[in-house]
Amino acid sequence: MAVAATLLTLAATVAWELACRRAGYGPTLDDTSDLWAERRSAVQPDSLVIIGDSRALFDLDLDQMEAALGRRPIQLGLVGSCAYPVLDALASDPTFRGTVVCSLVPAMFLVPAGPPIDNSNRALQRHRNWTWAQRSGHHLGMLLDERLAFINQDDLKLEMLLKRLPIPNRPEAQVGPKLPPYFSTLDRERRTWMLDSVTKPGPFQDRIKHGWIPLFTPPPPPAYVPKEAFLASVGQAIEQRFKDTAAAVEKLRARGGEVVFLRLPVTGDLKVLEDRATPKAGPWTRFLAETRAPGIYFEDHPELASFECPEWSHLSGPDSVEFTKRLMPHLRAAIGP
């Protein structure tokens, strides 16, 4: 019975692996809190650290940055996250006095609560409480991730497969917007590359493109809170975020560190939405003024503004290399000697 069970399990595993590969999946690391915690543990007092949302992961090439700046950056960007908790944690670390390069999507950076904050806090919590059992499990897991396509946390976990069920909205249960499908690969330094299939116009690219709009559209106020009170509460939280960010930057600067804000490329209908909701003259300009930190806005420089994001939000792998190469003179000037 043991032999039969083993053979049946092996056959089912092989069949599922082949099915996943036929569906376009390939072996790649999952971007887990463990992998983030490992990179956070590599931060030294004078490290060059990248933080922010997924655009920092896709758009910044570590090799080009190291060649231009003489330091290998540590990638701490997080998909679908608000960068503020990570910035605050670095500013509150008395041993850190390095340089932080922060990708700033204003709508995500200013969000007062919800998944973007939770994603950052989850990674920080893992780093603070990372046990030896979790570390060893992480390293064993990577050996499987790099060899098997069906181990894909974004699309192929039971939880994610269940979310694909066509459940309609009901009066007391609204279905949230769908997350984008698997469309990238990741290495052990968390450098993220867009799959070639996304760069080709077609249904798959369109599915990702049109998924951003509902994700970047704020949900309506909850029905159980008066609209005026809800908007006032959100406004107070946003004002506090401006103050807290300026305090975090000043705390880091007092130890000899620095922060550089980046506004990375966005195109298509998503750019129209972001420009309307958070124009450059709004949060971006205010962040730079109140933190006194340097900032690089891609549209201010023709050589950076000419890139097209295949799915409106991120650069392809080859374009990210060229974009980073063109970005480096501006980043060197912002960081200073």
Amino acid letter, 55: R
- Return all residues near 251 (Cβ < 8 A) that are at least 6 apart: 91, 92
Q: How high is the pLDDT of residue 257?
A: 94
Q: What is the 3-state secondary structure of 176-218?
A: CCCCCCCCEEECCCCCEEECHHHHCCCHHHHHHHHHHHHHHCC
pLDDT tens digits along 204-245: 899 899 888 888 887 777 777 787 887 888 889 999 999 999
Q: Is the pTM of this model over 0.85?
A: yes
pLDDT tens digits along 29-73: 788 899 999 999 999 999 999 999 999 999 999 999 999 999 999
State the average pLDDT over residues 256-270.
96
Eight-state DSSP code of residue 170: B
- Return all residues near 164 (Cβ < 8 A) that are at least 6 apart: none
Q: How high is the pLDDT of residue 161?
A: 66
State the average pLDDT over residues 261-267.
97
* Mean of the per-residue pLDDT values of the chain: 89
pLDDT tens digits along 85-98: 999 999 999 999 99
Q: How high is the pLDDT of residue 25?
A: 76
CA 26 to chain centre: 21
CB 310 within 8 A of CB 304: no
Q: How high is the pLDDT of residue 92?
A: 95
pLDDT for 158 beyond 70: no
